[in-house]
Amino acid sequence: MAGSLPIAQGVQRVRVEIENGTIGITVHDQREVKFGGGVRRAADTAAELAALEALPIDLVAEVDPADAATMVVRGAGAGLRSLRGMLGYELGLHVPAEVELEVLVQQNGHVTVADHRARLRVTTARGDLRFENCHGGTKARTGRGMVIAFGARGSLDIETSLGDMQAFVEQPGELLRLRTGKGTIQCFVPPRTGFVCSARAEIGRIGSSFDLPTEATSKYGMVMTGQYGDGRTKIVLVTGSGHVSLQKHE
């Protein structure tokens, strides 16, 4: 499938919603959402598979009834809930760089976003997240998956219940928060960054190239707190089980 969905005047943000699938998003200079890709289907019986194959798979768009400034882009969803089997998208999207973007994968799916310049919000119940050179501020959550962000500018607020996290920050905003229930956190910031830090490993160790004080909280845990420079950025790094590293990075 392939197509495009125009973004009406007055729309300030786009929300993409699918049940399952992998989404890769980059930007272009047209005021539309351009899409391409396909679906994978699986079912236990021929009849169940035929019912899945009868569903339209093209993306559709409508203005959010609760917010006229939001355009909602949806895949096959409502029809899936009454059927047995699995339908997963493999999508490539092009969106305007300066339009706010929200991505919601209801169940399983990986999401990659590159070069976006406006506010970004991504949620998936399970899947890896990757953010490349996103400069408008990013808030994201995955129930289970690895997270990497590089070339980041603006605030980062990212959480995974299970998975390692890496963030290479080019220009920090007011908040830099990385949280995982189980996994290692590596955070790299420019050496001249001013921040107030609160880092905790319930089970694990913490290291830093900023010479911040650390303290053992138990036989297995550690915390690190302190201020560096002007304290403009609030850094919060938390893992339930794993190691935490805060390092200088040009």
* Domain ranges across the chain: 1-107
With beta carbons less than 8 A apart as the criterion, state whether 199 and 186 touch: no
- Output the average pLDDT for the chain: 94
111-145 residues labelled b (16+ CB within 10 A) or e (exposed): bbbeebbbbbbbbbbbbbbbbbebbbbbbbbbbbb
pLDDT range class, residue 80, cuts 50, 70, 90: low
| pLDDT band with cut points at 50, 70 and 90 for residue 227 | very high
| Span 20-61, pLDDT tens digits | 999 999 999 999 999 999 999 999 999 989 988 888 888 999
pLDDT, position 118 = 97
Exposed/middle/buried for residue 201 (C-beta within 10 Å: 0-12, 13-18, 19+):
buried
Residue 79 has pLDDT above 60, yes or no: no
